[in-house]
Structure 1
């Protein structure tokens, strides 16, 4: 896609987000399978379902604007997921692996928070209020899973990993 104006830039950001959500959906299932702590496993599985819904929202917005939802592959998310796989291969023991999963998941979530925040701001500048509200909904969901992961880490997983 050639970017000629502000709206094109906005649509390109949404296309990147579709790719982000597609890649994350696959990664979350692998991460949940690797998790041993029940609360962590549940959080990752639940967020997988939420991620699928978020992708559907993005596709709907792009279609409303006549844009191809599958026009881009987000390389930053590819790199973050590659780093997650690498880290998990180095961690020994369930407790330590769970702590590493949370750290990796939060890196992925923080990238999404930045991407959704930027996309919502662009929608606001374009006065696309419905788009902005939809993007803000996904942004809030990302912040909620980030907070949940922090609670699981502080309350259960990290103390177990430290004691191991």
Structure 2
């Protein structure tokens, strides 16, 4: 897709987000499989479910605008997932791996927060208020996941890793 208008740029952002959510869904499942802390495993699986819903929202937005959902591959998400996999291969012991999972998951969340914030701002500039509302909903879900991961890290997972 050639980007020649502001709306094209907005649609390209949505396509990147579809790609990011698709990649993330698979990664979250893999992360949950290796997590040993039950609350962390649950949080990762819950976020995977949210990710699928968020992806469906994005696909609906793109279809509404007559754009293809899969025109781009989000290389930034691809790189972040690669770094997560690399880190997990280096961490020894369940407690340390769980702490590393949270750190990696939060990097992924922060990227999503930035991407959803950007897409929502672009929708606002285009006066696409329904799109903006939908994107803000996903943005708030991402922020809540980040808060949950922070609380889990501080209260349980990181203290266990320090003590191990």
Whether these two folds match at TM > 0.5 is yes
Separation in structure 1 between the aligned mates of residue 2 and residue 163 of structure 2, nearest angstrom = 53
Unmatched segments (≥5 aa) in structure 2: none
Question: What is residue 161 of structure 1 aligned with on the other side?
Answer: 161
Q: Which residue of 2 aligns with 1:112?
A: 112
TM-score by length of 2: 1.00
Q: Which residue pairs with 2:55 in the alignment? A: 55
Q: Which structure 1 residue ranges, 4+ long, deviate > 3 Å from structure 2?
A: none
Q: In the TM superposition, what is the alpha-carbon distance from 1:114 to its structure 2 partner?
A: 0.1
Partners of 2:63 and 2:87 lie apart in 1 by 37
Match of 1:99 in 2: 99
Distance 1:84 1:47 in 2: 16
RMSD: 0.2
User: In the aligned structure 2, how far is the partner of 1:60 from the partner of 1:78?
Assistant: 23
Q: Measure the CA separation in 2 of the matches of 1:37 and 1:51.
A: 21
Partner of 1:152: 152
CA distance in 2, matches of 1:162, 1:70: 42
Q: CA deviation at 1:138?
A: 0.1
SS state at 1:2 partner: coil
What is the aligned partner in structure 1 of residue 90 from structure 2? Answer: 90
State the secondary structure of the residue aligned to 1:66.
coil
What SS does the corresponding residue of 2:87 show, helix, strand or coil? helix
Match of 1:78 in 2: 78
What is the TM-score when the length of structure 1 is the normalising length? 1.00
Alpha-carbon distance in structure 1 between the residues aligned to 2:150 and 2:34: 18
SS at match of 1:58: helix
Residue 22 of structure 2 corresponds to 22
> Displacement, 1:9?
0.2
Q: Across the two proteins, how many residue pairs are aligned to each other?
A: 164
- Note the C-alpha offset of 1:47: 0.4
SS at match of 1:72: coil
Partner of 2:67: 67
Secondary structure in structure 2 of the residue aligned to 1:127: coil
Deviations 1:21-44 (CA, angstroms, capped at 9, x unpaired): 000000000000010000000000
CA distance in 2, matches of 1:161, 1:16: 35
